[in-house]
């Protein structure tokens, strides 16, 4: 039973203080002091929910509560706390939890998160509409990451719940994955990529940037405008990095035999040459990269030779929208920005 009306205001003020106490034994002692304290502990669950679990999920529950001061929210608060604890235990027991606390290489977590986020972007790109949920499927679990070419290529080991086979990631549109793993030979690399990795072991000076070709090699170096590169200062390394990442995410992968943009490549004996060739079309040649102050910190703006301006993820260079159309609502909610990439009141929330 609530206390007398004269004591309720005092109880409501005290409930804010009690909401910060998570020790159930302490709260159990508090409810024995008086009716006002008991009522304050009763109300503290609502304050704890709004502080620790604010969002659409809680709002959908609260809107059905007609009398918040007379509704016991402790059962729901306990359920949410148990959910958090179970997910935290699952995280700590996984390879991701161990890697976060004691990694073999400090860059592992960055590489894995980029790998996972890129797969999410490609999955979202295959949706038919804003409300299409077919892309939400169980994904392969990442269980390892190992650098095999310094500062360039990592081996990501995944475990699939379906068949245990390691498969290459899918790309947007109808392009093949750059590293195509044959299902008949799980874990085996394409011949051109295997040859490139072997060459890096023999001559460490080689780079993926040297393999990027375009129709205009004089005005663009590895797909990026030479005029713009010359205008950059040493402090603009972030812009240069975003440009190179965008090019790598937009290249046309060569065919299995070593073709580049459909043009076969042969050596003198007539056999196909297994050489990695990354062709960047004129549409994706980078003129410049910009990061306005108002732009969300996860985004950057890439201006291409075709005159279009794209929103790209700063960590991976993958485009997520165009400036003339804006970001779709789903991306606004995931990133926490408005349609034009500026910070806003949106918060990143889980979809599904």
Where do the domains of the chain lie? 5-92, 94-189, 206-352
CB 223 within 8 A of CB 280: yes
Judged by phi (left if over 0) then psi (alpha if -120 to 50, else beta), residue 232 lies in beta
Cα dist. 13→23, 92, 252 in Å? 19, 37, 63
Q: Sheet holding 220-221: strands in order across?
A: 220-221, 224-225, 286-290, 299-304, 309-313, 319-322
Within its chain, how far is the Cα of 33 from the centroid? 50
* Contacts with 309 (C-beta within 8 Å, 6 or more apart), sequence order: 301, 302, 303, 322, 323, 324
Q: Within a 10 A sphere around the Cβ of 318, how many other Cβ atoms?
A: 21
pLDDT per residue rounded down to tens, the chain (352 residues): 555 566 666 777 778 888 888 877 888 887 788 777 787 888 888 888 888 888 888 888 888 877 767 778 888 888 999 999 998 888 877 777 777 777 777 788 888 888 888 888 877 766 545 555 555 555 667 777 888 888 888 888 887 765 444 433 333 333 333 333 334 344 567 788 888 888 887 777 678 888 888 888 889 999 999 999 999 887 788 999 999 999 998 887 654 444 444 444 444 455 555 677 788 888 899 999 999 999 999 999 999 998 999 999 998 898 888 988 889 888 888 888 898 988 875 444 444 3
Q: Within a 10 A sphere around the Cβ of 178, how many other Cβ atoms?
A: 20
β-pairing verdict for 141-149 and 153-159: antiparallel
Q: How far apart are CA 16 and CA 12, in angstroms?
A: 7
């Amino acid at each position: 039973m609530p206390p007398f009306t004269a004591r309720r205001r005092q109880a409501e003020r005290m409930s804010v203080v009690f909401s910060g106490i998570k020790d159930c034994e302490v709260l159990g002692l508090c409810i024995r002091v008086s009716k006002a304290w008991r009522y304050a502990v009763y109300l503290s669950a609502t304050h704890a929910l709004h502080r620790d679990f604010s969002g659409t999920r809680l709002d959908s529950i609260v809107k059905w509560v007609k009398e918040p001061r007379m509704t016991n929210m402790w059962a729901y608060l306990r359920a949410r706390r148990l959910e958090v604890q179970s997910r935290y235990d699952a995280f700590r027991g996984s390879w991701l939890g161990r890697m976060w606390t004691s990694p073999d290489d400090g860059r592992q977590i960055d590489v894995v998160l980029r790998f996972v986020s890129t797969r999410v972007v490609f999955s979202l790109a295959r949706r038919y509409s804003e409300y299409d949920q077919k892309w939400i499927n169980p994904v392969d679990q990442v269980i390892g990451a190992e650098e095999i070419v310094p500062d360039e290529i990592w081996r990501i080991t995944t475990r699939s719940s379906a068949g245990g086979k390691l498969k290459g990631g899918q790309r947007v549109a109808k392009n093949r994955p750059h590293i195509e793993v044959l299902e008949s030979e799980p874990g085996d690399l394409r011949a051109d990529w295997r040859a490139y990795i072997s060459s890096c072991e023999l001559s460490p000076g080689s780079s993926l940037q040297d393999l990027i070709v375009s129709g205009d090699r004089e005005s663009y170096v590895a797909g990026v405008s030479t005029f713009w590169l010359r205008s950059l200062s040493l402090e603009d390394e972030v812009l240069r990095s975003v440009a190179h990442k965008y090019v790598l995410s937009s290249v046309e992968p060569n065919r299995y035999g070593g073709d580049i943009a459909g043009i076969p490549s042969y050596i003198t004996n007539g056999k196909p040459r297994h050489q990695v060739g990354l062709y960047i079309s004129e549409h994706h040649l980078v003129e410049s990269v910009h990061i306005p102050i108002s732009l969300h910190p996860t985004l950057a703006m890439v201006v291409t030779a075709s005159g279009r301006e794209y929103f790209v993820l700063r960590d991976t260079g993958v485009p997520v929208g165009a400036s003339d159309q804006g970001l779709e609502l789903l991306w606004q909610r995931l990133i926490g920005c408005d349609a034009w990439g500026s910070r806003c009141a949106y918060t990143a929330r889980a979809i599904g």
